[in-house]
Amino acid sequence: MKRLKSVKFFTLALSVSLVFFSCSDDDNATPIVVPSGEEPSNSELYTSNNSDGNIMIYNVTDLDNVSSKSLLTTSLAADGIYYDSSTDMAVQASRSNLGLEGFLDISLNDSGISIDIDVSGSADMESPREVAVNGNFYVVADNADADGNPLTADGRLYIYEKSGTSFTLRNTITTDIKLWGITFKGNDLYAVVDTTGDLAVYTNFLTNDADVSLSASKRITIEGIVRTHGITYDASSDTMILTDIGDAGNTDDDDGGFQVITAFTSKFNATSNGGTLSASEQVRVSGSSTMLGNPVDVAYQASTGTVFIAEAGNGGGRILAYNNIGTGGNITPTLNNQLAAASSVYLYTE
Ligand SMILES: [Ca+2]
Ligand SMILES: [Ca+2]
Ligand SMILES: [Ca+2]
């Protein structure tokens, strides 16, 4: 039984279902349908940030009554938050300590407590971002330049294996694309192609167990995205979501968005390598009411049709949630909590 003891940062912007249908070519998009049936009994949103490196956990079971707790870490900045319920462990990639850090007994800790690193890995990385987990394997996308030439696109995927209290580096994959968000769909690793609106997949990714350079198995363009960053895949609903940060400089703090692709498997398979998945096959949320400037990570709850966003730019950083997405457009977030330099989100549901 988990209880969040402290209630703070409690800013709720009630959505009045203000949906402006845009006149773009997504008019034919299939609306996001929320299945009828039981909603989750408990939903927790784990978040990391690049402001103080602490872990903030929001109980988002009821978006009208959100509580939060903050757990203090020795990191100064962190990304790639993940939660493993079987061991009650939160994991993040420390951007100040440059390794994976796991914290046990997360649900037992009160808000405001300093937590110790219980599971640790070597400090191998340069600029760790998103973490994707498959079994005991923890893959971290590092967006530092890999070959000493900033003009060539590349990055590294660090593959760690968790055993006991250690994350052991198994091998490193060098990519010929710039990296940021990654997510597993079965044994295939999907990666956004940073600085573009493209999506790449590495099939049977973990079978690559040597230190090698690897090209994507397939790469497609997601029409409508200027520069993608965040990605999540929900297997229960076969839904893929990518974020669009637009201009990374955030001079315009609502130039971002996100795009939802339902029936993802068939749409992706029907798009040839190098081809484009059209805007008409997606639902896009963007506009001045969305507060989306630099949405850097995303999580999805299919049972309630809720999209959670780590927004790094608008207002200095926010955790945002949207539901009643329908056919998209300029939607006001249902949840809007300030979180300075928010960097990643992970949704745990039971
Ligand atoms: Ca390079
Ligand atoms: Ca932007
Ligand atoms: Ca994430």
Residue pLDDT, tens place only, 178-201: 999 999 999 999 999 999 999 999
Q: Which ligand is nearest to the CA of 226?
A: 2
The answer to whether 131 and 92 are in contact (CB under 8 A) is yes
Residue 15 falls within a domain, yes or no?
no
CA distance 194 to 227: 7
With a cut of 90, say whether residue 20 has pLDDT above it.
no
- Whether residue 28 lies inside any domain: the answer is no
Q: What percent of the chain has pLDDT over 90?
A: 87
Q: How confident is the model at residue 39 (pLDDT cuts 50, 70, 90)?
A: confident
- Assigned domain for 18 exists: no
State the CATH number of the domain containing residue 251.
2.130.10.10
Distance, in Å, from the CA atom of 50 to the CA atom of 30, rounded to the nearest integer, reads: 36
- Is residue 158 assigned to a domain? yes
The answer to the question of residue 103 being in a domain is yes
Tell me the average pLDDT across 140-156.
97
The answer to whether residue 19 sits within a structural domain is no
Cα of 79 vs centre of ligand 3, distance in Å, is 8
What mean pLDDT is predicted for residues 71-77?
Answer: 98
Beta carbons of 178 and 129 less than 8 angstroms apart: no
| pLDDT at residue 232 in the model | 98
**pLDDT tens for each residue of 247-262:** 998 777 899 999 999 9
Taking all residues of the chain, what is their mean pLDDT, rounded to a whole number?
92
17 pLDDT above the threshold of 70: no
Residue 118 in contact with residue 165, Cβ under 8 Å?
A: yes
pLDDT band at 92 (very low <50, low <70, confident <90, very high): very high
Give the CA count within 13 Å in the CB-facing half-sphere of 80: 31
Quick one: which ligand is closest to 148's CA?
1
In this structure, of 72-86, 165-179, 199-213, 250-264, the range with the lowest mean pLDDT score is 250-264
**Of the ligands numbered here, which is closest to the C-alpha atom of 144?**
1
Domain count, the chain: 1
Question: What is the span of the domain harbouring residue 95?
Answer: 43-349
Spacing, Cα 131 to ligand 1 middle (Å)? 21
- Residue 4 clears pLDDT 50, i.e. is over it: no
Ligand 2 center–CA 256 separation, angstroms? 5
Give me the pLDDT at residue 2, please.
39
Asked if the model's pLDDT at residue 15 lies above 80, the reply is no
Residue 235, both tokens: 């297997």
* 72 Cα to the center of ligand 2, angstroms: 29
pLDDT for 28 equals: 56
Assess if residue 10 is contained within a domain.
no
Confidence of residue 36 (pLDDT cuts 50, 70, 90): confident
Residue 307 lies in a domain: yes
How far away, in angstroms, is 174 Cα from ligand 2 center? 27
pLDDT for 24? 45
Mean pLDDT value across residues 312-331: 96
Q: Is the pLDDT of residue 77 over 80?
A: yes
Give pLDDT, residue 302: 96
End-to-end Cα spacing for the chain: 11
Q: Which residue has the tokens 């573009």?
A: 196
For ligand 2, the distance from its centroid to the CA atom of residue 296, given in whole angstroms, is 10
Q: Residue 235 and residue 275: Cα distance in Å, rounded? A: 23
